[in-house]
A and B are shown apart, each in its own frame.
Chain A
Amino acid sequence: MSIELRNVTYKYSTGTAYEMVALDNISLQIPDGQFIGIIGHTGSGKSTLIQHFNGLIRPTSGQVLFDGEDIWGEKYDRRHLRSQVGLVFQYPEHQLFETDVLTDVCFGPKNLGCSEEECKERALEALHQVGLKEKYYHMSPFDLSGGQKRRVAIAGVLAMNPKMLVLDEPTAGLDPKGRDDILDKVKELHETRGISIAIVSHSMEDMAKYVERIIVMNHGHMPFDGTPREVFSHYLELEKIGLAAPQITYIMHALAEHGLAVNTEATTVSEAKESILKALGR
């Protein structure tokens, strides 16, 4: 299940004085099963980009292909596409609406035309996979904590059995443990379901810890696309576009400048620890 963007340009408010290019000739491929992160400052084009992945918005020019097929082709079934590429918006808990958790999660599959039995089966599996305890299934979603609500919202998308899950800032507003819990669950989904994941995030530390590839957006362009190591090695350029590297990157560079033979490419705490122990000869 691959997604490909070919020379995609998207303009808001075309033909008016407010015309703004949100994406400028972007080409990229996301192959099957990748875990990617998308970073960029507010207004850099991240959200516009991900809305192209499941055809929520149509490029002003260029093509979006899903498994090699143009999703804006005449006979293309975009309804099916939207069950294949699940989008979880920012603060998705604001979209919960049913009277109890289980019914809310059933809403997606119900709309796909699944039988009541299958809806329930999928919902139960999805809720189990996001790690929500059974005692909550029949409670009102509005009585849950922020982190729990967010998991219910993610389960609602998972119940559609997507081949790719796109999450727009899934950890915004959560406490540190809540952040780790959500990201650990997403990682587990990536591993157990084998689905591709794309996460939009402002946390460079989380990006370094979880994803295998980072796409950097800036003013509708994509200045960097690579592994966290590659991308964060450009930490000075990242700062110029309103981003940063994880704190670890700065520590390692400072140590190297002071003559300690550490690996400046380390981006996580465990990598840094290993490298420092080695440099100290332990």
Chain B
Amino acid sequence: MGIVKTAKLIYDYIRYDENEKEETFRAIDGVDLEVEPGQFIAVLGHNGSGKSTLAKHLNALLVPSEGTVWLDNMDTRDDSHIWDIRQEAGMVFQNPDNQIVASVVEEDVGFGPENLGVETPEIWKRVAKSLEGVGMTAYRKHSPNKLSGGQKQRVAIAGVVAMQPKCIILDEPTAMLDPNGRKEVLKVVHELNREEKVTVILITHYMEEVTDADYVYVMDHGKVVMKGTPREIFSQVETLKAYRLDVPQVTLLAHELKESGVDVPDGVLTTGELVDALCRLN
């Protein structure tokens, strides 16, 4: 079984209207997901499609209304495993300011392992290694509130890495960052995946961040409506648009050239691919 697996996952939010009448809203509607260890998975979907609700199920911040979620073979509804699950599956959220807890960078990174009861010398070892991994060693003694958004997100990632998770779930980690901050964060996430073999589940609205993923899921109204490799997904320009999504500019350009009768392949993902295809024609 994969590191993350969901079977017929359903989640209903319960709301009360003005007359205290109960209403249910189905945020996740029968999602089957299977992620193998070491994979880099991306989840796309418009605002309100259920991506974040799904993410919160993967480390038991939410538990299913129906169906099952397993994290490394542990059922998330089994209370006895809750701390193991949260140690193995780390979360990084959108707003860097909401997830920094300490007043010094190194203490913030040490917060997670400290809560796991790790011995002090081992905590410092992990802090040093995690900060190095995200390229923030130079800021070890700094105050987090003077850092840029991208730097804060990298500290947040280091905090998760220090817990030695098998899997990291990032919920729109770059939404509030400038282009450089976005690049920094993605680079770090890819390195963790490649070098430390950490499984990554990246939720994003930026199509360019998805092109290197192993597998992409597209959500709409709580359901998985498309799944496949980035190339398979991005070759369906019109379908993606119908789901309020988009494709990278290079993919769109290739698609439009093709519509105008130029012989380029479907689902072009990188500048290099398009340049090669066009140069062959010239």
Contact indicator B148/A259 (Cβ below 8 Å): no
Q: How far is the CA of A279 from the CA of B282 in the complex (A)?
A: 9
Kindly state whether residue A172 has any CB partner on chain B within 8 Å. yes
Question: A258 within 8 Å of B by Cβ?
Answer: yes
Residue of A with least CB distance to B248? A247
B49, closest chain A residue (CB): A175
Among A145, A147, A202, A250, point to the contact of B271 (Cβ < 8 A). A250
B110 at the interface (CB under 8 A from A): no
Decide if A62 is an interface residue (CB 8 Å cutoff): no
Q: Tell me the bound Cα distance from A270 to B45 in angstroms.
A: 26
Q: With A175-B205, A280-B282 known to touch, is A146 a contact of B47 (CB < 8 Å)?
A: yes
- Distance between Cα atoms of A242 and B180 in the complex (Å): 5
Segment among B68-76, B193-201, B256-264 that sits at the interface with chain A: B256-264
CB of A282 closer than 8 Å to a CB of B:
yes
Of the listed residues A41, A42, A178, A242, the one surrounded by the most CB atoms of chain B closer than 10 A to its CB is: A42
Q: How far is the CA of A174 from the CA of B204 in the complex (A)?
A: 10
Asked if A214 CB lies within 8 Å of chain B CBs, one says no
The answer, yes or no, to whether B128 is at the interface (CB within 8 Å) is no
**Is B46 an interface residue, CB under 8 A from the partner?**
yes
Expressed in whole angstroms, the Cα–Cα distance for A262 and B81 within the complex equals 60
Min CB distance, A16 to chain B, in Å? 15
Max chain A C-beta neighbours (<10 A), residue from B48, B249, B260: B249
> Does A205 reach chain B (CB closer than 8 Å)?
yes
Cβ-based interface call for B224 (8 A): no
**Which of B249, B262, B271 is the one whose CB lies under 8 Å from A205?**
B249
Inter-subunit contact A175/B148 (CB<8 Å)? no
Which of B179, B207, B274 is A251 in contact with, Cβ under 8 Å?
Answer: B274
With A176-B244, A202-B178 known as contacts, the answer to whether A273 contacts B249 (CB < 8 A) is no
Nearest residue in A to B182 (C-beta to C-beta)?
Answer: A202
Whether A260 sits at the interface, judged by CB under 8 Å, is: yes
Q: Does B186 contact A (CB under 8 A)?
A: no
B192 to chain A: closest CB distance in Å? 23
> B220-240 interface mask toward A, CB cutoff 8 Å, 1 = contact, 0 = none?
000000000000000000000
| A202 CA to B183 CA, complexed, in Å | 13
Nearest B residue to A148 by beta-carbon distance?
B47
Complex CA gap A43/B177 in Å reads 11
Q: Does A282 contact B260, Cβ atoms closer than 8 Å? A: yes
Assess whether B62 is interfacial by the CB under 8 Å rule.
Answer: no
Q: List 11 A-B contacts (CB under 8 A).
A: A41-B148, A41-B180, A41-B181, A146-B47, A173-B94, A242-B178, A243-B180, A251-B253, A255-B278, A260-B282, A279-B282
Task: List B residues at the A interface (Cβ < 8 Å).
Answer: 45-48, 94, 148-150, 172, 175-181, 205, 207-208, 241, 244-246, 248-250, 252-253, 256-257, 260-262, 271-272, 274-275, 278-279, 281-282
